[in-house]
C-alpha cells in the first residue's frame, strides 16, 4: 500500500453532496472506460507506412535521460582529462606497464568502474589524491549518466525483441506497443541479460586467446572484473588486452549493474500485479461500499469506486488525492462542484492578476 490510511475518507472538502436519487429519476447509466488521453490512443498507425508509425519509446527517466551525444561528451571529457592527469603522473604510478598513454587510459577506466586490479597503483601523494578524485567523479558519471544511457538503449531494442518473440504470429503495431507497455521492465531485463552473456563469453574467449590464461582463469578474471571485485591476481597485462579492457570493462560492469536493477524492478512489479489481482478478484462487501462512499449519500458512483480501488491497490494515497482536490477547488471558482470553460478562464485570469 502507498499509505496506511485505508480508513480515512478518500476526499475531503468535496463540493456540495449529491442528493439521493429514487428509481423514478435515476439517470441513464454511464460507463467510464478510457479517458481521451489514454496512452495508446495516439499510437494507432494512420498511414500506409506502418513501420514509420511506430513511436519512439520514451525513457522511464524522462528528462533525466541524456542524449547519446551528451553521454559521449561527458565520457570523452572524463576519459580525456583522466588520461592526461595519469599520463602526467605516470612515473608516480607503479606496476605492470605497457604504453604510457594506454596505461593512463586503462588506469582511468579501472578507477572509474572501481575494479581496481592492483596491477597499476598510485605511488605518491599527488597520484593518490588524483585517484581519489577520479574514483568519486567516475562513480557519479556511471550512476547518473552512463546507466541512464544504457537504460535508454535497452528501451530502443524492445520493439525488436517483441517482434522476434512473435515472428510467427501476425501482430500489429498496436499489439506490440501494448505488450511493451505491459512488460517493459521484463523485456529490458531480457535484453540486458542477453548482452551480459555475450560480454562474458567475449571476455572469457579474449583472455583465453590473447592473454594466454587458462579457461577457468579467464572466466574467473571475467567474473571478478564485472562484479568489480578485482582481486588482481589475474588481469589484462598486454597492450592488446588493455585496449580491449578499456571498452569491455566499462560495458560489462554497467550491464551487470543494470541487470540487477531490472531484476529488482521485475520483482517489485510482480508484487504490485499480485496485489492488483487480489484487489480485483476479492468480493466487494458492505464495508467496502461504506468506505468508498465519499460524500456519504448512500450510493457509490463510478468515480468513487475507481478511487477506492486505486487506493486499495496502493497506486494512490490520501496525500495524492488531497493535492488533486486542492487543485480542483482552486479551479472551481464558482464553487459548483464541477469545472467548466468559464471556471478555467476565470481561474487563469485570477492567476495573471496576482503579483
Q: Does residue 2 form part of some domain?
A: no
* pLDDT of 346: 82
Check: CB of residue 128 under 8 Å from CB of residue 122: yes
pLDDT of 136 above 70: yes
What average pLDDT does range 108-125 have in this prediction? 90
Q: Does residue 228 form part of some domain?
A: yes
Q: Does residue 84 form part of some domain?
A: yes
- Residue 89 structural domain: 66-278
What average pLDDT does range 235-250 have in this prediction? 92
* pLDDT of 231: 85
Q: Does residue 248 form part of some domain?
A: yes
Q: Does residue 59 form part of some domain?
A: no
* pLDDT of 106: 94
Name the more confident of 19 and 160.
160
pLDDT in tens, 211-226: 999 999 999 999 999 9
What average pLDDT does range 49-73 have in this prediction? 51
Check: CB of residue 258 under 8 Å from CB of residue 117: no
* pLDDT of 166: 57
Share of the chain above pLDDT 70, in %: 69
Mean pLDDT of the chain: 76
pLDDT of 244 above 90: yes
SS in 3 state form for the chain? CCCCCCCCCCCCCCCCCCCCCCCCCCCCCCCCCCCCCCHHHHCCCCCCCCCCCCCCCCCCCHHHCCCHHHHHHHHHHHHHHHHHHHHHCHHHEEECCCCHHHHHHHHHHHHHCCCCCCCEEECCHHHHHHHHHHHHHHHHHHHHHHHHHHHHHHHHCHHHHHHHHCCCCCCCHHHHHHHHHHCHHHHHHHHHHHHHHHHHHHHHHHHHHCCCCCHHHHHHHHHHHHCCCCCCCCCCCCHHHHHHHHHHHHHHHHHHHHHHHHHHHHHHHHHHHHHHHHHHHCCCCHHHHHHHCCCCCCCCCHHHHHHHHHHHCCCCCHHHHHHHHHHHHHHCCCCCCCCCHHHHHHHHHHHHHCC
* pLDDT of 64: 43
Q: How many distinct structural domains can be found in the chain?
A: 1
pLDDT of 159 above 80: no
- CATH number of the domain bearing residue 116: 1.10.287.70
What average pLDDT does range 163-167 have in this prediction? 57
Q: Does residue 151 form part of some domain?
A: yes
pLDDT of 16 above 50: no
Q: Does residue 253 form part of some domain?
A: yes
Q: Cα–Cα–Cα angle for 346, 348, 352, nearest 5°?
A: 115
Q: Does residue 189 form part of some domain?
A: yes
* pLDDT of 178: 64
Amino acid at each position: 500500500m502507498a499509505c496506511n490510511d485505508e480508513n480515512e475518507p478518500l476526499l475531503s472538502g468535496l463540493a456540495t453532496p449529491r442528493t439521493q436519487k429514487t428509481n423514478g429519476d435515476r439517470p441513464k447509466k454511464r460507463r467510464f472506460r478510457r479517458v481521451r488521453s489514454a496512452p495508446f490512443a495516439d499510437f494507432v498507425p494512420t498511414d500506409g507506412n506502418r513501420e514509420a508509425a511506430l513511436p519512439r519509446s520514451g525513457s522511464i527517466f524522462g528528462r533525466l535521460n541524456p542524449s547519446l551525444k551528451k553521454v559521449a561528451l561527458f565520457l570523452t571529457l572524463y576519459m580525456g582529462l583522466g588520461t592526461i592527469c595519469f599520463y602526467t603522473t605516470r612515473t608516480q604510478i607503479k606496476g605492470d606497464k605497457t604504453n604510457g598513454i594506454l596505461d593512463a587510459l586503462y588506469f582511468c577506466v579501472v578507477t572509474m568502474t572501481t575494479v581496481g586490479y592492483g596491477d597499476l597503483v598510485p605511488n605518491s601523494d599527488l597520484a593518490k589524491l588524483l585517484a581519489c578524485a577520479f574514483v568519486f567523479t567516475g562513480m557519479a558519471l556511471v550512476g547518473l549518466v552512463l546507466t541512464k544511457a544504457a537504460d535508454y538503449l535497452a528501451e530502443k531494442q524492445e520493439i525488436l525483441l517483441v517482434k522476434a518473440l512473435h515472428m510467427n504470429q501476425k501482430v500489429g503495431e498496436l499489439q506490440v506497443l501494448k505488450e511493451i507497455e505491459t512488460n517493459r521492465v521484463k523485456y529490458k531485463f531480457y535484453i540486458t541479460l542477453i548482452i551480459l552473456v555475450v560480454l562474458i563469453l567475449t571476455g572469457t574467449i579474449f583472455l583465453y586467446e590473447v592473454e594466454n590464461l587458462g579457461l577457468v582463469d579467464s572466466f574467473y578474471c571475467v567474473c571478478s572484473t564485472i562484479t568489480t571485485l578485482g582481486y588482481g591476481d589475474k588481469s589484462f597485462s598486454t597492450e592488446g588486452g588493455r585496449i580491449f579492457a578499456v571498452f569491455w570493462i566499462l560495458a560489462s560492469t554497467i550491464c551487470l549493474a543494470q541487470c540487477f536493477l531490472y531484476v529488482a524492478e521485475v520483482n517489485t512489479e510482480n508484487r504490485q500485479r499480485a496485489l492488483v489481482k487480489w484487489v480485483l478478484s476479492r468480493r466487494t462487501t458492505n464495508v467496502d461500499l461504506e468506505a468508498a462512499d465519499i460524500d456519504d449519500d448512500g450510493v457509490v458512483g463510478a468515480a468513487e469506486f475507481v478511487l477506492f480501488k486505486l487506493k486499495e491497490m496502493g497506486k494512490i494515497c490520501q496525500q495524492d488525492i488531497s493535492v488533486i482536490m486542492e487543485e480542483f477547488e482552486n479551479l472551481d471558482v464558482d464553487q459548483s462542484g464541477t469545472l467548466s470553460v468559464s471556471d478555467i478562464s476565470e481561474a487563469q485570469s485570477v492567476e495573471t492578476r496576482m503579483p
